[in-house]
Amino acid sequence: MAAQENSRPLQLPEAYQEVLYWRLSDHKRLLVILNVVGLLTMGVMLGAFTAWAQRWHPLQMGNFSALQLLAILAMAILTVVVHELVHGLALRCYGARPAYGVLWNGMMFYATAAGHAFPRNAYLVIALAPLVGLSLVALGVLALPLPGWLTFAVILCAAFNVGSAWGDLWLVRTALRYPRAAYIVDEKDGMRVFLPVEG
């Protein structure tokens, strides 16, 4: 774990205490559920992004060459990397230094900032940045008259990005249970929440 439980996080105001330490890897059943929901969401979003692209121009999918299929696969894999890089960019915007990695036991990629506490609303922006930002980029790109294989690749990557954001959305749900005054430390697979000491 990047941040030690007993260390005082950077940027944390005085008179704050930890009230929650939550890790997704401690909730195996929830991890399975989020992955299943993510796959279902990806299916729905394939249809939604396809419908959006068809609003702007007719889709000509046709048969793809082996090279085009390889490029589509590479773009889908790269989507995971870009997703985490967008988290990292958001972390940098709030003054943190991101670190990246993979938790192989849960097959989770992550971008995190070791021991850096963020105001709750800043944390929400960081968590939602790839879902919102990359979806908006995809909508803009899909309005362009792209070759059929490239249109399909963008649709697939955009849907995959949305489907893989359920872990982020669960952390957002957890963060929203706390007031704006809360500070949150992002962990590799979870979060620590701090609130002002009462009295």
Neighbours of 39 (CB within 10 A): 13
d(CA 108, CA 113): 16
Q: How much is the pLDDT for 2? A: 36
Region 49-73: mean pLDDT is 88
Region 6-25: mean pLDDT is 88
pLDDT band at 110; cut points 50, 70, 90 = confident
Q: How much is the pLDDT for 29? A: 92
3 state DSSP class of 154: helix
b/e per residue 7-18 (b: at least 16 CB within 10 A): eebbbbeeebeb
pTM of the model: 0.89
- The model's pLDDT over 28-51, given as tens digits with 9 standing for 90+, comes to 899 899 999 999 999 999 999 999
pLDDT band at 194; cut points 50, 70, 90 = very high
3 state DSSP class of 193: strand
pLDDT at 5 over 70: no
Phi, psi dihedrals of residue 107, rounded to the nearest 5°: 50, 50
* Four-point Cα dihedral 44, 85, 71, 52, nearest 10: 30
Q: How much is the pLDDT for 25? A: 80
Give CA 86 to chain center in angstroms: 8
Question: Higher confidence at residue 110 or residue 93?
Answer: 93
Point out the least confidently predicted range of 68-82, 100-114, 128-142, 165-179: 100-114
Q: How much is the pLDDT for 3? A: 39
Q: Provide the 8-state DSSP code for 188.
A: T
Region 128-156: mean pLDDT is 95
Neighbours of 5 (CB within 10 A): 8
Identify the bridge partners of residue 196 per DSSP, sorted by sequence position. 16
Is residue 129 within 8 A of residue 87, CB to CB? The reply is yes
pLDDT at 199 over 80: no
The sign one gets for the Cα dihedral 167, 77, 144, 130 is positive
